[in-house]
Structure 1
Amino acid sequence: MDSQDKLQKQPMDFYNMSNFLKGQSSKLITKLSDEDRTAFVLKNGKPIAVLISNERYERLLKSGIDIAEY
Protein backbone atom coordinates (compact mmCIF):
# COMPACT_ATOMS: atom_id res chain seq x y z
CA MET A 1 0.00 0.00 0.00
CA ASP A 2 1.54 3.32 -1.02
CA SER A 3 0.91 6.75 0.51
CA GLN A 4 -1.69 7.52 -2.20
CA ASP A 5 -3.82 4.56 -1.03
CA LYS A 6 -3.59 5.71 2.57
CA LEU A 7 -4.92 9.16 1.63
CA GLN A 8 -7.98 7.86 -0.19
CA LYS A 9 -11.07 8.18 1.94
CA GLN A 10 -14.14 6.03 1.81
CA PRO A 11 -17.30 7.96 1.03
CA MET A 12 -19.75 8.14 3.89
CA ASP A 13 -22.82 5.97 3.76
CA PHE A 14 -26.23 7.55 3.88
CA TYR A 15 -29.57 6.49 5.29
CA ASN A 16 -32.90 8.06 4.46
CA MET A 17 -35.07 9.19 7.34
CA SER A 18 -37.77 6.88 6.01
CA ASN A 19 -35.56 3.89 6.89
CA PHE A 20 -35.73 4.93 10.54
CA LEU A 21 -39.48 5.48 10.36
CA LYS A 22 -39.95 1.93 9.05
CA GLY A 23 -38.47 0.44 12.22
CA GLN A 24 -35.04 -0.27 10.79
CA SER A 25 -33.13 1.92 13.26
CA SER A 26 -31.63 -0.93 15.28
CA LYS A 27 -30.46 -2.79 12.18
CA LEU A 28 -28.90 0.33 10.62
CA ILE A 29 -27.13 1.45 13.79
CA THR A 30 -25.83 -2.05 14.54
CA LYS A 31 -24.42 -2.33 11.00
CA LEU A 32 -22.76 1.06 11.31
CA SER A 33 -21.24 0.09 14.66
CA ASP A 34 -20.08 -3.36 13.51
CA GLU A 35 -18.38 -1.85 10.45
CA ASP A 36 -16.93 1.15 12.39
CA ARG A 37 -18.44 3.60 9.91
CA THR A 38 -20.08 6.99 9.75
CA ALA A 39 -23.22 7.86 7.82
CA PHE A 40 -25.40 10.79 6.87
CA VAL A 41 -29.09 10.74 7.70
CA LEU A 42 -31.04 12.32 4.85
CA LYS A 43 -34.46 13.94 4.90
CA ASN A 44 -35.90 14.85 1.52
CA GLY A 45 -32.48 14.14 0.02
CA LYS A 46 -30.64 16.61 2.28
CA PRO A 47 -28.28 15.67 5.14
CA ILE A 48 -29.76 16.51 8.54
CA ALA A 49 -27.52 14.48 10.87
CA VAL A 50 -24.42 12.30 11.01
CA LEU A 51 -24.18 8.95 12.75
CA ILE A 52 -20.78 7.78 13.97
CA SER A 53 -19.67 4.52 15.54
CA ASN A 54 -18.58 4.73 19.17
CA GLU A 55 -15.15 3.33 18.28
CA ARG A 56 -14.61 6.13 15.78
CA TYR A 57 -15.83 8.70 18.30
CA GLU A 58 -13.41 7.35 20.92
CA ARG A 59 -10.54 7.68 18.42
CA LEU A 60 -11.51 11.32 17.82
CA LEU A 61 -11.47 11.98 21.57
CA LYS A 62 -8.06 10.34 21.95
CA SER A 63 -6.72 12.54 19.16
CA GLY A 64 -7.98 15.65 20.98
CA ILE A 65 -11.16 16.24 18.97
CA ASP A 66 -14.40 16.46 20.93
CA ILE A 67 -17.21 16.98 18.47
CA ALA A 68 -19.55 17.82 21.35
CA GLU A 69 -17.66 21.12 21.73
CA TYR A 70 -18.63 22.37 18.28
Structure 2
Amino acid sequence: MADVKMKPKIPMEHLNITEFNRGQSSKVIKKLVEEDKAAYINKNGKPIAVIMSNERYERLIAGGIDINEY
Protein backbone atom coordinates (compact mmCIF):
# COMPACT_ATOMS: atom_id res chain seq x y z
CA MET A 1 0.00 0.00 0.00
CA ALA A 2 1.34 3.46 -0.88
CA ASP A 3 2.44 5.75 1.91
CA VAL A 4 -0.02 8.66 1.80
CA LYS A 5 0.85 11.66 3.93
CA MET A 6 -2.18 13.38 5.36
CA LYS A 7 -2.10 17.13 5.69
CA PRO A 8 -2.38 18.00 9.39
CA LYS A 9 -5.76 19.43 10.31
CA ILE A 10 -5.58 22.88 11.79
CA PRO A 11 -8.57 23.98 13.86
CA MET A 12 -10.50 26.90 12.46
CA GLU A 13 -10.15 30.25 14.13
CA HIS A 14 -13.01 31.48 16.29
CA LEU A 15 -13.93 35.15 15.83
CA ASN A 16 -16.34 37.08 18.00
CA ILE A 17 -19.26 38.80 16.30
CA THR A 18 -18.41 41.98 18.22
CA GLU A 19 -15.46 42.41 15.82
CA PHE A 20 -18.01 42.76 13.03
CA ASN A 21 -20.25 45.01 15.07
CA ARG A 22 -17.33 47.37 15.72
CA GLY A 23 -16.78 47.94 12.02
CA GLN A 24 -13.93 45.44 11.73
CA SER A 25 -15.67 43.13 9.25
CA SER A 26 -13.73 44.38 6.23
CA LYS A 27 -10.41 43.85 8.01
CA VAL A 28 -11.41 40.38 9.26
CA ILE A 29 -12.66 39.25 5.83
CA LYS A 30 -9.59 40.65 4.06
CA LYS A 31 -7.31 38.65 6.40
CA LEU A 32 -9.29 35.43 5.82
CA VAL A 33 -9.09 35.92 2.04
CA GLU A 34 -5.36 36.70 2.08
CA GLU A 35 -4.64 33.63 4.22
CA ASP A 36 -7.21 31.47 2.38
CA LYS A 37 -8.78 30.38 5.65
CA ALA A 38 -12.20 29.72 7.11
CA ALA A 39 -13.33 30.82 10.56
CA TYR A 40 -16.23 30.40 12.95
CA ILE A 41 -18.16 33.50 13.93
CA ASN A 42 -19.18 33.23 17.58
CA LYS A 43 -21.92 34.99 19.52
CA ASN A 44 -22.00 34.56 23.30
CA GLY A 45 -19.23 31.96 22.96
CA LYS A 46 -21.15 29.73 20.53
CA PRO A 47 -20.53 29.33 16.77
CA ILE A 48 -23.35 30.87 14.73
CA ALA A 49 -21.77 31.01 11.26
CA VAL A 50 -18.72 30.09 9.21
CA ILE A 51 -17.00 32.49 6.88
CA MET A 52 -14.47 31.52 4.20
CA SER A 53 -12.71 32.88 1.16
CA ASN A 54 -14.40 32.48 -2.20
CA GLU A 55 -11.39 30.52 -3.48
CA ARG A 56 -11.86 27.97 -0.69
CA TYR A 57 -15.59 27.73 -1.49
CA GLU A 58 -14.83 27.25 -5.21
CA ARG A 59 -12.46 24.39 -4.34
CA LEU A 60 -15.22 22.73 -2.34
CA ILE A 61 -17.59 23.01 -5.32
CA ALA A 62 -14.90 21.69 -7.69
CA GLY A 63 -14.38 18.76 -5.30
CA GLY A 64 -18.06 17.88 -5.49
CA ILE A 65 -19.05 19.39 -2.14
CA ASP A 66 -21.93 21.85 -2.27
CA ILE A 67 -22.54 23.12 1.23
CA ASN A 68 -25.99 24.34 0.18
CA GLU A 69 -27.11 20.71 -0.15
CA TYR A 70 -26.63 20.02 3.56
TM-score by length of 1: 0.89
The structure with the largest alpha-carbon Rg is 2
Deviations 1:12-69 (A, max 9, x none): 0111011000000000001001100000000000000000111110000001111112
User: Gapped runs of 5+ residues in structure 2?
Assistant: none
- Give the match for residue 10 of structure 1: 10
SS in 2 for 1:15: strand
User: Gapped runs of 5+ residues in structure 1?
Assistant: none
SS in 1 for 2:50: strand
- What is the aligned-residue identity percentage? 57
Matches within 5 A, 1:1-70: 3=5, 6-70=6-70
Question: Which runs of at least 4 in structure 1 moved beyond 4 Å after TM superposition?
Answer: none
CA RMSD of the aligned region, Å?
1.2
With 36-45 and 8-17 compared, the bigger mean Cα shift is at: 8-17
